[in-house]
Structure formats: structure tokens, C-alpha cells
Amino acid sequence: MAKTSLPDFTALVKEGAPAVVNITVTRKAPALDNRSEEEMPEFFRRFFRGYPQERQQRPATGSGFILSEDGYVLTNHHVVEEADEIIVALSDRREREATLIGADPVSDLALLKIEASDLPVVKVGQSESLQVGEWVMAIGSPFGFELSVTAGIVSAKGRSLPDDRGNYVPFIQTDVAINPGNSGGPLFNLKGEVVGINSQIFTRSGGFMGLSFAIPMDIAMEVVEQLKDKGSVSRGWLGVQIQRVDRDLAESFGLDRAAGALVTRIFADSPAEAAGVKEGDIIVEFGGRSIDLSSDLPHVVGRFKAGTTADIKIVREGRSETLEVVVGELDESTMAQPVASARPQNNRLGVEVRALTNDEKAELEVSRGVLVTNVGSGPGQLAGIEPGDVLTTINSQWIDSVDTFEKLVEQLPAGMAIPVRVVRDGQPMFRAVKVEE
């Protein structure tokens, strides 16, 4: 096996560091200022430096980098969010007050402008060409220590994180040491090109634990162009709720492998509804892009402009179909019916159900289905069905009454995984049920 030497980052630092900046913001002290870092969400933390509240104004620092000689600077939205004043400190110690051109909370990016000329700039690379295992380097201001350099490798690509922003960013995961204050700083490849913006870490301690996440530069530059043009960002919206396809669900839907995004809900008056997408469809391709993981779909749809037309390739009841959809626009509004006696659990699923009242239908936002009141040992329990679940379809057939439920259960083929649509706490999902004789 040939010996290989570790990369030397000295030339990259000399070339890239002059375009990296330190960002200090001042905010009027909100109620959140009284929280310690330990009170922040435990796992994923955005990492700017916040100092204890001892006066009316609270300073905090982060990082950023210069995109153009005339003073456009890119950083994270959470670094400058609700800032009263933004000061950009250049590598030569000059300081400039910055104007916020625009911000995008969904991607966690913000574009600033400072009054200056002939500034050093970064080279922008293509994050799409990054390979897992490739060396990368970060420059930023962890804990206020300016122009600190750390290095590591790309651990994974296309990561979706548990976040209220809807998973519209396919993060680059690295093992580069990132800490509070690095937020908004650049991630370089060995060519000296910026391929990502350091944004979040996985932590139980508040500091680096080996997992860091960066926003891909390909995504960032699309956001930058829109922020320059109109100060805001438009994203594509399909109007579906989806879940992951595991091996059992793949078998139950007749797929030869676990892939795609399983549609569990269609939102009213959405592009998906207009295109004829149905609950239980598995989206395997959108706009010519393969959807291998369910988390791929928001990333792909979000990069389409509202009003454009795209093809959706779906698998429905074991057959492939192609639908045409006019992509909608993501915004705040789109991100977001007598009780019968219970039947004994002597059916083939081993679950006890009853009819839903009209009030329950309204509260649970379902038009059809039966309520699970008890689960005994059997296929239903093995599939993860729980008391309180609402069963709405079995093998793509709607359940409009308890009698219909019983008939569908009796017709289930033995030895085959069959999809059952479940609504739990208002969230639809599918479970693969296999009945044995």
C-alpha cells in the first residue's frame, strides 16, 4: 500500500484567510438573553457566541466571508437575526458597519453589504462535486478567537436535520472542529474554494463532538442571487407530507428496493392535489432528479421556481406513472365529524376498533377511518399500530366504516406485507402489516 502524506493547509490559509471576517452584532436584550447555553436545544445548536446579559445591549459574534470586491458578505441568518447594529471586522483590523441586504431563515443565510472597495474575496466552488472522505478546512472565530483554522474530512452529504425549517437544506456533514463563533464561516476544499457555510453542530455538551454541518455553496449562491435581486427568497412547494420507505413498506407497495418518498397526506388546494398525486403514492423522481431518500424531495422541489412545470414519477399500486405538476411557492401559510360499540380484537390484525364521531373527525382532520381502541398480540402490534391511531386505508382501499375495515382485513392475503395508512396525533404515516395464516 502506497504511503500518502497528509495535506498541507498553509497555502490555503494564506490565500483564503484575508477574505474571512468577524461579525459582531448588538441586539436589545430579549427574554431569551436570560437563558444559558445549557437551556438551548440539546442536540443541534447554531453556533454564534453570546455573552452574558449585564446591560441593555448584548453583543454576539460570528463569522462570515467576502463574496465581492465591493463589499458583499455572506453569513448565517441566525448570527444577524434581530440585530440593531452589525459590525464587520476585516482581516486587516479595519471595521465597517454593515447593511443587511436580505435574509433567508429557511436556509439560515444572510447577505450583508459594507462600504469598501478592492476587498479580498473567496473563490466559490461547487459543493455538488464534493466527495465523502475529501479533506476540507474551516476558518472562523470560535469563542472569539479570530481567524482560527481547523480541518477534517467530509463525513456525509445530503443530511437532513430535525428542524422547523422543513429540511430544505441538504447539509454537508464533516468532522471539522467547529465551536460557538464559527457560525457563518467558510468551509474550503483543497483547491482553496469555498464549498460550504458552517452552520450547525451536533452536541450534548454545547461544544464540538465530532459532527458539524455546513450549508452547500451551490444552494447558498442561489439564495445570494435572490437576496441581491429582491431581498427575499422564493422556493418551490409541492404540498405533500411524506415518510421514509423502509424494507417492509417497499415490499408492501411492490417495490424491488426501499427508495422514494411515500406520500402520507395531500394538502388542500396544493400543486400535488391539482396534479393528481394521491396518498400512498411513492415519488421516485421529480423534475428529472432521482428521489432515493424521502429527505431528497424537499431539497429538490425547493430549488424549482414557483410557476415552473415539472414531471413527477410515482409508483402507485405497483405501477409506475408520470404526472405533471405546476410548482407552487413555499411561504408561511404553506409550511404550514354517535360512538359505535367497539369490536372485539378477534380479527386477523389483532386490533380493536370503533367508528369515529363527527367531532373526532374534525379534531383529527380526517374524513374517513376507524379509531384503534386496543391492540393485542398479532400483526397489528408487530407493525407498530397503537391505541389511539386512526386507520384510514388498508392496501390502498379507504376505510369508511367498521364493517368495511373488517371486510378488508378478512381479504388480506397471507404472507404478504400490506400497507396500512395510520393517522397518529394528527400525523399520517404508513405501516407495513404482514398477516400469517
pLDDT digits (tens, 9 = 90+) for 48-104: 444 444 444 556 789 999 999 999 999 999 999 989 999 999 999 999 999 999 999
How many Å is the maximal CA-CA distance in the chain?
79
Q: Based on the structure, what is the number of domains in the chain?
A: 3
- pLDDT value, residue 344: 41
Residue 136 within a domain: yes
> Is position 293 within any domain?
yes
- Indicate if 153 and 254 belong to the same structural domain: no
Q: Which one of 192, 217, 233 terminates a domain?
A: 233
Q: What is the pLDDT of residue 342?
A: 39
Residues 134 and 73 grouped into a single domain: yes
Among residues 63, 77, 78, 155, the one annotated as catalytic is 78
Quote the pLDDT of residue 417. 87
Q: Specify if 382 maps to a domain.
A: yes
pLDDT in tens, 272-310: 999 999 989 999 999 999 999 888 898 899 889 889 999
- How many whole angstroms separate alpha carbon 86 and alpha carbon 32? 19
345: in domain: no
pLDDT in tens, 162-178: 654 557 888 999 999 99
- Residue 245's domain comprises 236-329
Q: Is 183 a catalytic residue?
A: yes
pLDDT tops 80 at residue 153: yes
Q: Does one domain contain both 385 and 244?
A: no
What is the chain's mean pLDDT, rounded?
Answer: 85
122-136, 232-246, 275-289: segment of lowest average pLDDT: 232-246
Identified catalytic residue from 127, 141, 183, 199: 183
Greater confidence (37 vs 190) lies with 190
In a domain, 340, yes or no: no
- In this prediction, residues 419-431 reach a mean pLDDT of 90
The residue from 269, 298, 329 where one domain ends is: 329
**Residue 337 counted as domain residue:** no
Is 167 inside a domain boundary?
Answer: yes
* In a shared domain, residues 294 and 376: no
pLDDT for 154 beyond 60: yes
Same domain, 218 and 317: no
Confidence tier at 340 by pLDDT (50, 70, 90):
very low
Q: Is 80 exceeded by the pLDDT of residue 410?
A: yes
Residue 108 annotated among the catalytic residues of the structure: yes
In the chain, what percentage of residues exceed pLDDT 70? 86
Same domain assignment for residues 226 and 240: no
Is residue 60 situated within a structural domain?
yes
Average of per-residue pLDDT across 251-278 = 90
Q: In whole angstroms, give the CA distance from residue 252 to residue 353.
A: 22
The residue ranking higher by pLDDT, 1 or 138, is 138
| 46 and 176, same domain (yes or no) | yes
* pLDDT number for residue 130: 95
Output the pLDDT for position 41: 42
CATH code at 131? 2.40.10.120
Choose the catalytic residue: 63, 77, 107, 108. Answer: 108
Here the CATH number for the domain that contains residue 378 is 2.30.42.10
240 and 229 in a single domain? The answer is: no
Same domain, 134 and 271: no
pLDDT band at 217 (very low <50, low <70, confident <90, very high): very high
Domain co-membership, 75 together with 206:
yes
- The verdict on 271 and 404 lying in the same domain is no
Which domain-ending residue is among 233, 254, 288?
Answer: 233
Question: pLDDT at position 33, please?
Answer: 43
pLDDT of residue 90: 96
Indicate whether 160 and 207 sit together in one domain.
yes
Confidence of residue 348 (pLDDT cuts 50, 70, 90): confident
Q: What is the per-residue pLDDT for 67?
A: 97
Instruction: Give tens-digit pLDDT for 351-402.
Output: 888 888 887 888 888 888 999 988 887 888 888 898 889 999 998 899 988 8
